[in-house]
Structure 1
Amino acid sequence: MKIKSAFYVSAATVALLAQPAFAQTEPLDEEVVEDTTIVVTGTSIRGVAPVGTNVLSVDQESITASGATDTNDILASVPQVSSAFNTVPTVPSLGAAITSVTPALRKIGGSSSGGTTLVLLNGHRGPGVGVLGTPFDPGTIPVAAIERVEVVLDGGSSVYGSDAVGGVINFITRRAFDGVEVSGGYGVADDYQQYDANLIAGKSWDSGSAYIAYSHSWNDALFGRDRDYVQQISANTGGCAPGTVSIDRGGVVTTYALPDRTPGTISQCDNTDNGAFLPEETLHSVLGNLDLDLSPDVAFDLEVLYSKRTTRQTYDLNGAGGNGAFAQSGIITATNPYYQPIAPDPFFQTVNFSYAGVFNDKGQVDLDLFNIAPSFAFDLGSGFEMRALLSYGQTRTESNSPSINAVAQEAALAGTTFDTALNPYNPGSSDPAVLASIYQNFYGLADRRQAIGRLIVDGPLFALPGGDLRVAAGLEGTQQHIDARFGNVAVGAENTAPGAVGERDIMSVFGELVAPIFGGANGSPGMRELTLSASVRHDDYSDFGSTTNPKVGFAYSPLDGLKFRGSYGTSFNAPSLGDTTGAPDSRAQIIQFSPFRDPADPEIPNLLRPTVILAGGNPDLGPQNAETWSVGTEVELGALRASATYYNIDFKDQIAIVPFTTPAIFTGLYSSFVTRNPTLAQLTAAVGDLPLDGASSLASLYAGPFGGPYVLFDARRQNLGRVKVDGIDFAANFEHTLGDVGIDLGVTGTYLLNRKVAALAADELVDAVDQESRLNLLAYVGLGTPTLQGRVELNYNSGIELALPLTANGVTQTDVDGFATVDLFAAYTLGSFGGGRDARLTLNIDNIFDADPPFYNADPGYTNGSTRGRLVQIGLSFGF
C-alpha cells in the first residue's frame, strides 16, 4: 500500500467560519485511506474523529476573511478562547517575564507560567518561550503556511499528556503546495497602521512534495493618548512632570505644583497618555515542509520552523508602570545643594516627581525560535501503521526595560554636592553620573530547549458488527531545559549572574481504542450508530512523580441527522520549569520595616521589625488536576446544522500565590504559610540557598533591638486553589444557494452557567460566575457568488459584575457593560494573470462603528474587551 506521511484533518471542515465538527466515528472511505494517513486532532487513531468530543475548525477561507496578520487574530474569532482574545488580542504589559499572549480555553488557569490549554503544531508540541517559561507561542507560525486551526473543547491528557485541561488548539499547516503564491495587506486606523506580506512556493511530484512559506508582519504602537477609552482613573498625586512639592508645617500640609509653586496646586497629567497599550511588533517567520515516499511502505516528512519577533514597548514615565515605579517621591533637605526653600520653611520637603523626558522610556523583547520535526510512517501490513516522530526546539527570549535604582536615588536625594545630589525639581539638570547611577535596565534572558521522541502503532484489531475495532499504542520521551535570569543591571551592562537552571525528563506510555458497536451496514432505526472509545496515558516526571489519566467517550445516533455524544476523563497541567527549579524570580525578599501587622500585636515595635518573604518558584509544586466531562447533541436537517454541548470542569490544585492581606493572613487558615518571630535557625532552613534581596545576610536581621524579623511569609507559587465551571457551547449554521448566490448564516458561542472558586483547598467554593463575561458569541451573515463574496460579523461579550465596587472621582461602579463590535469582509476575484492562479482583492473593516470598550472605573479605564478602533485593511493575493 502506498502511504503518505501523517497529517491532521478536522472531523468536518466548515466553510467560512469556525463551526462545530460533527464527529465522524466510522472509518473513512477506503479510497481516501488508501492515499493518505489521516490523524484527527484529539486521537492517535487514523481514520476516526475523537469520540464524544466537540471540535471546532477554522478553515483557510475563515482565516482570509478575518484579515489575520498573525495567529492571535485567527483565535480572536473563536468565542471559547480567552486570555486577552476578545475583539483584538492585547499583549500583557511587557517586562522580563511576560512576553506573549497565551491562548486559553475556559478561563481556569492559575498563576502557573505553563498553560491549561495545549497548543500544538501539526499534532506535536513546540518549544516554550519566555523568561519564566510560558508554553509554545502560536504567534510564531507563518500565516501563509496555515491551512486550518482545530480546537478540541475537551480534556485531552489521555492522548497528549500535560496542559490539555481546557482543551487543545492544533495549528495545521499545508501538507503540499504546487506553484507560487504572494499575498499581502495594509491596514489603517486612527493613529495606527499595520502591514503584512506572505510568500509560499512549492513543488509536488509523484513521490512527494516540498514547499517553503514566509510571513512578515509589522504593526504600529497604539498609545493611551490615541484612544479615549484608555485613561487614568486614579487621582493624581502630583508626580507628573515637572512635579509637586509638599511641605508639612505642624500637621498642615501644603502642596506646590512645579515650576510656579502656587500654594494648593499639584502637577497634573493623564499618566496613560504616553504608554503603549498595544506595542509595536515586527515578525519574520519561515516554515518549510518536505514530504517524501521513500518506498511503497515508508514515508518521510520534515517540518522546520524558524521565527524572529521583536516587540517594542513604550512606558509612560509619569506613571507607575514597567518594572520600576517611575512616579517617584522623596524627601529633600537643606543639605541638598538643589534645595529651594518655600517660606515659612521647615528645611525639608517631600517632592513628587518623575523622570519623564529624562530617562529612556522604551523597552524591547526579542524572541528567536527554531524547531525541527522529522517523522516516518511505516506500513506494517493488515492495516497497521507505525509512526515515529522526533522533534527538537529551542528558543531564546531577551528582554530589556527601564527601571529605577531606589537605593541610589535615595542616596542622591541625600547628596550634599552637585556631583552627588539629585535635583528632584528638575531631574534632567542633575549630574549625568548621578542619573546614570539611578537609571537601570531590567534585563531578562532565557534559553529553553525541548526534545521529543514519539512512537505510535495503530490499526484495526478485529471486526465488530459496526466496523473494525481500531487501536493505538505508543511511547513518548521528552526532555526539557531552561536557563533563565532577570534583574536590574546597569544600562549597557550584561547580566552575568548565574541563571536559574531547570531540567526535566518525562517518559510516557499511552493507548487508545475505538469500538463501533453499530453503524454502517448493521445500523437500524433507533440504532444507526453506537461507538465507544477509551484512552489512557501514564506520564512519569523526573521532578514531581507520575500521573495517569483515562478518558472514555460515546457517540449514539438513533436516526439519520441526530447524534448524541459524551465523554469523561481526567487531565492535568504540569508546573512549568519556570515555576519550579528554573524560576529566575526565586528569592528571599527582605522588607526592613514590616508592612504587615497582626492587630492583636503591639504596633510600633513590630512595624520597626523586618519581614522576610519567600517569593518566586517552588521546587515542591505538583500538577494542577481536573475532572472533565461533557454531553452534547448534533442535529442536521437539510441545510441546517446545529449543536449544543454541556461541559463541566472541576479544576483542583490550582497554582496560585497566597493572598497577603491583613488581618486575614494571620488567621489559622494561612498558618502553614506564616512563621511568626522566626529564629535564625528557622529562617536559615526556610531560605536555604535562595538569593537575598534587601539584606546582606540573614544574621544582620537580628542585629536590631526588637529581636529579628516579625514574620516569615511563604509567598512562592503553591498548589492552592480550586475552580469549578460548567456551561454550554452552541453553534448553528444554515447554508443555501439561490441561483449563483450562496447564503451562509450562523452563530457560534459559549454560555457560562456556573463558576465557583476557592483561594485555598480548605476554603468553601464561592460563586463568581457574574465576574466573568457569561455569554461570548459570534454571529454572521455571508453572501457570495463565484467572483464576489461578503460577510458581516457580530462579536459580543456580555457584561460582568465587579467583585468589589470601584469608587473613583466620586463615581461608584458595581458592574461593567457588555461589548459588541461589527466587522465586514468582502472579496473580489480578479481572475488570473498569464494563466496563473486567480488574483483576489480583499477588504476588511473591523469594528465598523468604532465602538469603544465599556467604561471601567480603574486604571487604565477599560476592560471586557479591547480594540484598535475602526481598522480598514486592503489585501491582494496572486500566484502562478
Structure 2
Amino acid sequence: MRSNIKTKCGTLLGSGSLVALCLPVAAMAQDAGAGIEEDAPPAIIVTGSRIRGIEPTGSPVIGLGREDIEASSASTTTELLSELPQVFNFGATDASFTSANNQNANRTFGTGINLRGLGTESTLTLLDGRRLPAAGTQSQFFDPSVIPTMAIARLEVLADGSSGIYGSDAVGGVVNILLRKNFDGAEAMGRVKFADGFEEYQAGLVLGKTWGTGSIMVAGEYNDRGILFAADRDFYTDDLRPFGGPDLRSANAAPGNITVGGVTYAIPTGDGENLTAGDFTAGTRNLQSAYLGAGALPAQERYSAAATFEQEITQSIEFYAQGFYAERDGTLAASALAAQFDVPTSNPFYVNPGAPGERVTVSYSFVNELGFERNPSSQQAYHITGGLNAQLGADWSGNVFYAYGHDKERSFDRRIDNAALTAALADPDPATAFNPFSSTGNNNPATIAAIAGGSFRVDTNYGIHEYGVSVDGPVTSLPAGEIRLALGASRQEINFQDLAPFQSDFDRKINSVFGEVFVPIIGGEGPELNLSAAVRYDDYNDVGDTLNPKFGVTFRPVESLTLRGSYGTSFRAPTLSDTGLPFNQYTQFVDGSNVLRNVLFLRGGNPDLQPEEATTWSLGADWQPDTVPGLSLSVTYYNVDYTNRIATPGNDRLALQKPELATIVTLDPPIDLVNEIVAGGLFSAPPAAPEDVYAIVDGRKVNLGANKTDGLEFIGSYEGFTDWGSWRVGVNATKILSFDRTIISGTPLRDVLDTINNPASFVARAYAGAEVGGLSGTVFVNHYGSYDNDSVTPIQDVPAHTEFDLALRYTLEQPFAFAENITLSLDVQDIFDNDPPYVQNGNLAFDPNAHSPIGRTIAVGLRAGF
C-alpha cells in the first residue's frame, strides 16, 4: 500500500512537455532554488483526497510542474492551463464576446477554466486547496491569471466530479494551484512577445529564504498586452463576401439610412441641410462595419504578487500563511455608438423621401460626432489564508485555518441616452436640434454630449470568509496496510454587491461537514487493491442542503499497471448573481432574414433557482511497462449526467431565428405589455417608443437545462536517452463520444457535439523534443477537429485545423559566480501563420472559440536564477 506517496511513480511526460500526468512523486515536488527540495514532508495533501500521503483513489490528476511552466510560452496561468485538451475555450474568455455561453456577460474580460466543456462555472479552482473569491461580471468563476506564474510550484488538474470532497462547482473537475515553498534564492524573468499588429511584455521576480524551522517566498509579475485591432486581421470582419458569404455590415452608418413604409433610402454625403425627396434613391443603403475601429483582443495590464510563509512554533505545531494580490486594467476597443430612431416633423432638418405622412426612421452611426469607443474595465482581487498544522500523535494530523478573499470589478460602456436623443430630435431650433441627415459631424457639441450621457456600468464586489478544521490519520491496520480517515467541518460567509445598473446586496452562509476513508484491501509484494469513500454535506441558508458522495477504487494487478474507477454526485449552487435582481435592456437581435430588429430583452437573476446536480463516473488505466523504460500510457473514460442546469436560453442574439426558442420569444407584443414592463423600471435603456419593440425575448436565468456527455482522454509519452542527450515524444488527446444538451425544459436532449459554440469531438496536443547539453527544443502540434456550423443554412462544414509551435531553450549553468543559471528562450506559436477556417459566426468570419485571432507569435525571453 503506497501511503507514503514519495516512494513511487513520477511525471509521465518529459521536461518541457507541458502535459504531464501527475503521479505521486510529481505531487511531492517542492522548489529549492533551481532544483527540488529533498527534505519535503513524508506525507502531503494531493488534489483529489483530504487524507495526507494518499494518492487520489480512482481519479487521475494531470500535473504541470515548474519545468512545464518555464517551458511554456504562455503569459498567464490561464493560458498555460488552456493548453490542455481537457480545457475547452467556451465560456469566460477575453477573445469572444458573443451571446453564446453567456460570453457577452463577461464585461471585464476575465478568463476562466472550462473542464470537459461543461462551463467555467462548473470548474472549481483552488489555491492550495482553499476556495477563492469568484470573479467575472456575474461572479461565476475564478480567473487563474491573477496568480503570478513565478509563484507557482505546480498546477494539478483533477478532471473528475468531486463535490463529495470539495463541494459546489466541482462538476467538470478541480484545478488546484500550489504555490512555491522551501524556495531559497532569487529568480528573475523577462519576455517580449509580438505578432503582426500585436505586442506583449512580461517581467517577473521571485525571492525566497529558508531556515531550519521555516521559509518565506515572495513573487511578483507584470504583464502588459496591447490591443489587437480587428482591422489587422482580414477574417475579423462582417463583410463576408471575400469568403463567399453575405455582406452583414450594419445599416447604422454615417451617413445613415432612412426607412419609410418599408423602403430604405441611403442618406447622401453632406451636411444634411436643405435635403429634398429628390436627393434620395429608393432601395439604396449605406453600410458600415460593426468592427470599424474595434478590437479583436482588449488591452490588458496586470500587476500581481503572491507570498508564502511557514514557521515551526514547536516540534509538533507549524504556522503558515499565504496569499496573493492582483490588479488588472483593460480597454476594449469598440466601434462607434449607433442607434435607430424616428425623426418627428418638428425637427428643422426633417425630410421624407417617401409618401408624406409616413413614419420616418433613421439608422445612424455617431462615428463622426463621438469617434470610436474605448471601454475601460478593472479588477482588483486578493486572498489570504492563515492557519496551523499540528501533529497530534499516533500519526494523526490536524489543521485549522481562516481565509478571506475579495474581488472588485468595474467597467464602463458609454450608451445613447434615449430621452436626450428624443428631445434633441424634436427640438425645432436648428442651432441645438440633432441633425441625423448629416455625415460631417457638424452637430452641436452640447447636444451630442447630452445624447451620449448614458452609460452601462459593471460595479461588483464579492467577498468570501471561510474557516474550518480537519483531522486525518490511521484508524486501524489491516494486512494490506492502514485504514486512514479524514474528518472536517467548515463555514463560508459570502457577500455579493452589484451596484450597477441597479443596486443589490446579497449574503449567503454555508455550513459544511465532510469525511473520507481510505481502505487497503490487498497489498504487500503482489497485487494491490485500494478503496476510498468520501461524503460531504453542505447546508445553504438560501437554497437548501445537499449531500454528495464519491467512491474510488484502484487495482494494480502488477507493478506496471494501474486500473481505476470512480463514482460520485456533484452539484453547483446558483451564485448570488444568479439569484439576484433582474434588469432589462432595449437592444437589437438578428431575425431569420439577417435584419436587425429592436427587442425588449429581459435579463438578470431569478430568486427561485435551485442547485444544479450531476452524476459522474469514470474508468481508466495507467501503464508504465518495465520492458519499455520511459514509456507511460494513460486512458480514461468518463460519463457525466448533468441536470437542473441554470440556463439563459434567451441570451442568444439568434433567438428570433431558432424555432426551439419560440416559447421565450413574443413577436409583435401588445403595446400594453410593453408599457407594463417599461413601467416596472430596471432598465439600462428603455425604448424610445413602445411601438418600436419588434419582440420581447425572455433571457432570464432558469433551471431548465440538462447535459449528458461521455468521452475518452488519452495521455502518452516516451522518453529515451542516448550518448548525445535525451529525446521525448508525447500526446494528450480528448475524444468526446457524445455531448447531448437541452436548454428548454420538456424538449428532448439534442446532440450538439461538433457544432459551433459547442465542443469538438477531437482535440489533441502532441510534442516531440530533444535535449543536448544546455540546448533543448520541442515542436508541438495542436489539432482542433472539424465541426458543423449549424447556425446557417445550409449547414457549413468547418474543416479541422492544425497548428505547430516551437519552443527553444538554451541554459548556461552558473555562467557567473553570482548566477546559478541563465536560460534564453525563443518561442514561436502558430509557426506557419495559418488563418483560421472561414466560419459565418453571426456577423463574424471566424470562430474565436475555436481559434485565436493572433496568428504567428514570436516570444523572446530570459530567465536567471541567483
Name the TM tier (shorter chain). 0.7 to 0.9
- Matched with 2:181 is 175
- Matched with 2:854 is 868
Q: Distance in 2 between matches of 1:456 and 1:618?
A: 35
**Percentage identity across paired residues of the two chains:** 30
- Matched with 1:433 is 446
Q: Is the 8 A contact 2:736 2:761 kept in 1?
A: yes
- Matched with 2:392 is 380
Match 1:155 to one of 149, 161, 167: 161
1:486 partner SS: coil
Distance 1:443 1:427, change over 3 A: farther
- Matched with 2:623 is 635
Structure 1: unaligned runs, 5 residues or longer: 1-5, 318-325, 488-496, 597-609, 807-811
Q: Does 1:567 align with 2:579?
A: no
Q: Does 1:444 align with 2:458?
A: yes
Q: Does 1:617 align with 2:605?
A: yes
Q: Is the 8 A contact 2:82 2:113 kept in 1?
A: no
Q: Is the 8 A contact 1:67 1:844 kept in 2?
A: yes
| Residues 46-93 of structure 1: CA deviation (Å, up to 9, x unaligned) | 111110102111122221222222112201211110135999965777
Q: Distance in 2 between matches of 1:565 and 1:371?
A: 35
Across the two proteins, how many residue pairs are aligned to each other? Answer: 808
- Matched with 1:338 is 349
- Matched with 1:142 is 148
TM-score where L is the length of structure 1: 0.84
TM-score where L is the length of structure 2: 0.86
1:790: how far off? 0.6
| Residues 87-111 of structure 1: CA deviation (Å, up to 9, x unaligned) | 99657777774531221111123xx
- Matched with 2:309 is 290
Q: Is the 8 A contact 2:95 2:296 kept in 1?
A: no
- Matched with 1:791 is 778
1:153: how far off? 0.9
Q: Does 1:327 align with 2:338?
A: yes
- Matched with 1:645 is 636
Q: Does 1:479 align with 2:493?
A: yes
Q: How does 1:181-580 map to 2 (within 5 A)?
A: 181-232=187-238, 233=240, 235-236=247-248, 239=251, 241-246=253-258, 248=260, 253-259=264-270, 263=281, 265-317=284-336, 326-332=337-343, 335-339=346-350, 349-359=360-370, 361-424=373-436, 425-426=438-439, 428-439=441-452, 440-487=454-501, 499-519=503-523, 521=524, 523-524=525-526, 528-580=527-579
1:345: how far off? 8.3
Q: Is the 8 A contact 1:79 1:777 kept in 2?
A: yes
- Matched with 2:822 is 839
Q: Does 1:763 align with 2:765?
A: no
1:333: how far off? 5.1
1:144 partner SS: helix
Q: Is the 8 A contact 2:256 2:365 kept in 1?
A: no
Distance 1:588 1:262, change over 3 A: closer
- Matched with 2:21 is 21
- Matched with 1:853 is 836
Q: Does 1:820 align with 2:802?
A: yes
1:614: how far off? 5.6
Q: Distance in 2 between matches of 1:213 and 1:28?
A: 21
| Residues 605-653 of structure 1: CA deviation (Å, up to 9, x unaligned) | xxxxx99976311111111110000001111122211011100000000
1:770 partner SS: coil
Q: Distance in 2 between matches of 1:95 and 1:711?
A: 21
Read off the aligned partner of 1:542 and give its amino acid letter.
N
1:370: how far off? 1.6
Match 2:763 to one of 776, 781, 784: 776
Q: Is the 8 A contact 2:614 2:643 kept in 1?
A: yes
Distance 1:179 1:710, change over 3 A: closer
Q: Distance in 1 between matches of 2:262 and 2:491?
A: 68
Q: Does 1:724 align with 2:708?
A: yes
- Matched with 1:805 is 792
Q: Distance in 2 between matches of 1:850 and 1:379?
A: 56
1:358 partner SS: helix
Q: Is the 8 A contact 1:461 1:468 kept in 2?
A: yes
1:182: how far off? 1.0
Distance 1:46 1:871, change over 3 A: same
Q: Distance in 1 between matches of 2:92 and 2:493?
A: 35
| Residues 197-242 of structure 1: CA deviation (Å, up to 9, x unaligned) | 0011111110111121000001111011111221113635663642
- Matched with 2:275 is none
Read off the aligned partner of 1:396 and give its amino acid letter.
K
Distance 1:631 1:23, change over 3 A: farther
Q: Distance in 1 between matches of 2:9 and 2:174?
A: 13
1:626 partner SS: strand
Structure 1, 547-556 or 858-867: larger mean CA deviation: 858-867
Read off the aligned partner of 2:443 and give its amino acid letter.
S
| Residues 532-552 of structure 1: CA deviation (Å, up to 9, x unaligned) | 110000000010100000011
| Residues 822-868 of structure 1: CA deviation (Å, up to 9, x unaligned) | 00000111232224210110110111000122111132211121141
2:864 partner SS: strand
Q: Distance in 2 between matches of 1:253 and 1:643?
A: 62
Distance 1:88 1:149, change over 3 A: farther
Q: Is the 8 A contact 2:214 2:311 kept in 1?
A: yes
Q: Distance in 2 between matches of 1:46 and 1:768?
A: 41
Q: Distance in 1 between matches of 2:769 and 2:763?
A: 20
- Matched with 2:115 is 105
Two-structure CA RMSD over aligned residues (Å): 3.8
Read off the aligned partner of 2:395 and give its amino acid letter.
G
| Residues 579-605 of structure 1: CA deviation (Å, up to 9, x unaligned) | 113x4xx136799x9999xxxxxxxxx
Read off the aligned partner of 1:531 and give its amino acid letter.
N
Distance 1:421 1:66, change over 3 A: same
- Matched with 2:69 is 63
Structure 2: unaligned runs, 5 residues or longer: 30-36, 241-245, 272-278, 592-597
Read off the aligned partner of 1:797 and give its amino acid letter.
Y
Q: Is the 8 A contact 2:92 2:111 kept in 1?
A: no
Read off the aligned partner of 2:608 and give its amino acid letter.
D
Distance 1:476 1:786, change over 3 A: farther
Q: Does 1:44 align with 2:50?
A: yes
Q: Distance in 1 between matches of 2:27 and 2:168?
A: 28
Read off the aligned partner of 2:386 and give its amino acid letter.
P
1:558 partner SS: strand
Q: Is the 8 A contact 1:28 1:47 kept in 2?
A: no
Q: How does 1:650-799 map to 2 (within 5 A)?
A: 650-659=641-650, 691=682, 715-771=699-755, 772-799=759-786
Q: Is the 8 A contact 1:635 1:641 kept in 2?
A: yes
Read off the aligned partner of 1:517 and give its amino acid letter.
I
Q: Distance in 1 between matches of 2:135 and 2:661?
A: 38
Read off the aligned partner of 1:474 and give its amino acid letter.
G
1:177: how far off? 1.6
Q: Distance in 2 between matches of 1:253 and 1:227?
A: 31
Q: Is the 8 A contact 2:516 2:535 kept in 1?
A: yes
